[in-house]
Amino acid sequence: MIKKGISVSHGLGLARAYLIEDSKVVVSSELTGDINEQLNKLENAILEAEAEIKKSKELAQNLMDDNDAYIFDAHLAILKDEYFLRDVKDLINLGHYASYAYKEVTKKYLDEIRKAESLYLQERSIDVNDVYMKVMYYLDALSRPHLSIDREVALVASDLTPSQTIGLDFNLVKAIVTEHGGKTSHAAIIARTLGIPSVAGIRISSINEGDLLLVDGRYGTVSIDPSEDELVEYAYFLDKIQTKEKRLEPFKKQKTHTLDGQYIKLGANISSHEEISHLKYAEGVGLFRTEFLFMRDSKTPSIEEQMHSYETVLASNKNQTHVIRTLDIGGDKNLTYLPIKKEENPFLGQRAIRLSLANKNIFTSQLKALLLANKYSNLAIMMPMISTLDEILEAKELIKSVEAELIKEGHKINSYQLGIMVEVPIAAFGLEDLIEEVDFVSIGSNDLIQYLFAADRMNEEVAYLYQPYHPQLLKIIKHVINVAHKHNKWVGVCGEMAGVKESALLLVGLGVDELSMGYTSILEIREMLSKVKMTDLTKLVARVLKLKKNDEVLEEVKKYLDKFSKNKGDKYEI
Ligand code: PEP
Ligand code: MG
């Protein structure tokens, strides 16, 4: 049976389905000898979770209306529900581990709630799950409950949230299938960064645990129990990959130049410092999404933990500039320990720099760690989602005060660059008024497109409005490049457009200085650019800017690439 969805990350993956439900955590169903120990463990976990919820409530009361902090009272009520706890204790008294008992009882309650007709009750399942995650953390005592896999799998989830993916061994993930989320959801970005084939928009109720899935990220299809013919095609695909790897070998040791000598810097996008070992072929980090470091635990990472992470990145290549982006929380990324007021439109709400400026403690700790980690003067700090000059000025003032404090403590402040992401339309159109305050800009095309087209990047129903080739978008990008260059500032692009051959070609033609992308795309983009001439790309751009539609532009670029590969006898496609 073949299902059609949206392609979010190319390639073919074959593995058995592993369904992710919210409450899938690792617990042992074996019996333990010590009932009292488990009862004590449960009691302690409840106390710890209670303290955490109360702290969140206090924080919430400081940040929002008292009325809105009521949700934590609801969480406390769930946590201490005597019937619920009685059921858990009954299972422990039968000899089960506390974590197993808590999980089983939660599952039973969630099943009942989800069956209820009342929408209100159904929505409470989110709260039960929230409390559950907290208690399980304290029962486990070591880490937040995480997904654990020990064999190759095709992950199947309604929506893969960023926090679910933390700590997952992606070497074992051969494909990702989701019901929700578009091309630029964070799950999609992770999939592309790691080169995992991925398809969204699939009704996952038709997939059972253990089904063999052939996920075709090129065409956005998922084949359940694939046919012989499909398996033969898969083998052929693997063979082609090997050929491609051989072909790309010579590009590992080169910088990126067009045939007529134009240098383009190719950076890598990363979400954790651990990825740094994969970046051998990139020229530095063009985007470090630091929010994932803040999402790993139930509290803000200490300054030392942050410094370790930033230092690892900066020391990986002391001669390269590395762009570290300050927190981009909000939208689809949340911190459990920072209660964000429920928003009707989270992507239009208190996200990124807005949240950092509203929570100066966290922002200050990040700035401190960044400046302290900057031992080799190769740091570029980048602020996400800037809209106004005031936001830049307020952030700069904060940075100056952090610097002054560090100097007073006897630290030396090494030089660094400060830049902004251009991803809110007003910053793109009004860049002339912002540019003097910064050293560089990087275009966040994922958000820029989302906000220009007023189309939620997480909503597959409006995925057709993700139009990276739209001539009007290209004109806005051209405007950003022109303004930055007029002021002698460099411009990068770190959205997904930068790592896709057709759009990367246009961005280079438009004049960007840096493309930053998932590291699995670097060699292919380098190979492609090494075979084209800047003079031809400028002509191509002039041609497509006269068109009116996204698809017309894409067709024109594909024609150029096809003609070009025929002339040279090159084959790029896989
Ligand atoms: C972007 O918006 O293009 C970007 C690079 O940032 P993120 O995808 O993390 O929002
Ligand atoms: Mg963005």
CA-to-CA distance for 200 and 482, rounded, in angstroms? Answer: 36
As a whole number of angstroms, the distance between CA 284 and CA 293 comes to 19
148 part of a folded domain: no
Q: pLDDT tens, 78-104?
A: 899 999 999 999 999 999 989 889 988
pLDDT computed for residue 165 by the predictor:
64
273 is an active site residue = no
Q: Per residue in 390-412, pLDDT tens?
A: 999 999 999 999 999 999 999 99
Q: Write the pLDDT tens digit of every residue in 335-375.
A: 877 766 778 899 999 999 999 999 999 999 999 999 999 99
pLDDT at 555 over 90: yes
> 144 lies in a domain?
no
User: Does residue 468 line the site of ligand 1, with CB under 6 A?
Assistant: no
Given 138, 162, 195, the domain boundary residue is 138
Q: In terms of domains, do 260 and 215 share one? A: no
Q: Which atom of ligand 1 is nearest to the CA of 444?
A: 3
Per DSSP, 178 falls in state E
Q: Region 495-505: what's the mean pLDDT?
A: 96
Tell whether 178 and 270 lie within a shared domain.
no
Q: Report the nearest atom of ligand 1 relative to the CA of 287.
A: 5
Question: 306 pLDDT exceeds 50?
Answer: yes
| Contacts with 553 (C-beta within 8 Å, 6 or more apart), sequence order | 469, 470, 471, 474, 506, 544, 547
Q: Could you give the dihedral angle defined by the CA atoms of residues 284, 290, 292 and 296, in that order, rounded to the nearest 10 degrees?
A: 110
In this structure, are 118 and 222 located in the same domain?
no
pLDDT at 162: 60
Are 448 and 330 in the same domain?
Answer: yes
User: CATH number for the domain including 276?
Assistant: 3.20.20.60
267 and 415 part of one domain: yes
Burial class (CB in 10 A: 0-12, 13-18, 19+), 274: exposed
Same domain for 349 and 214:
no
Q: Which residues, other chains included, contact 226 with Cβ-Cβ below 8 Å and sequence gap of 6+?
A: 14, 212, 213, 214, 234
| Domain membership of residue 79 as a residue range | 22-138
DSSP of 265-301, one letter per residue? EEEEEESSGGGGGG-TTSSSEEEEETHHHHTSSSSPP
Note whether residue 430 is domain-resident.
yes
pLDDT band with cut points at 50, 70 and 90 for residue 25: low
Residue 495, ligand 1, Cβ within 6 A: yes
162-207: per-residue pLDDT in tens? 656 656 678 899 999 988 777 766 667 778 877 899 999 888 888 9
Contact 135, 44 (CB under 8 A): no
Closest C-alpha to ligand 1, atom 4: 444
Over residues 31-41, mean pLDDT: 86
471, pLDDT greater than 90: yes
Place of tokens 């019996």: 31
User: Domain check: are 123 and 164 in the same one?
Assistant: no
Instruction: Check if 423 has its Cβ closer than 6 Å to any atom of ligand 1.
Output: yes
pLDDT for 145 beyond 50: no
Q: Please tell me the number of Cα atoms within 13 Å of 375 on its side-chain side.
A: 12
196 plus 131 within the same structural domain: no
Q: Measuring from atom 9 of ligand 1, which residue has the nearest CA?
A: 289
In a domain, 231, yes or no: no
Say how far apart CA 548 and CA 546 lie, in whole Å.
7
- 444 CB near ligand 1 (under 6 Å): yes
Average pLDDT score, the chain: 88
pLDDT at residue 146 greater than cutoff 70: no
Residue with structure tokens 């709400």?
349
422 and 384 share a domain?
yes
Q: How many domains does the chain have?
A: 3
Query: Does 307 lie in the same domain as 189?
Result: no
Which-ligand-closest: CA of 468? 1
Ramachandran assignment for 511, one of left (phi > 0), alpha (psi -120 to 50 degrees), beta (any other): left
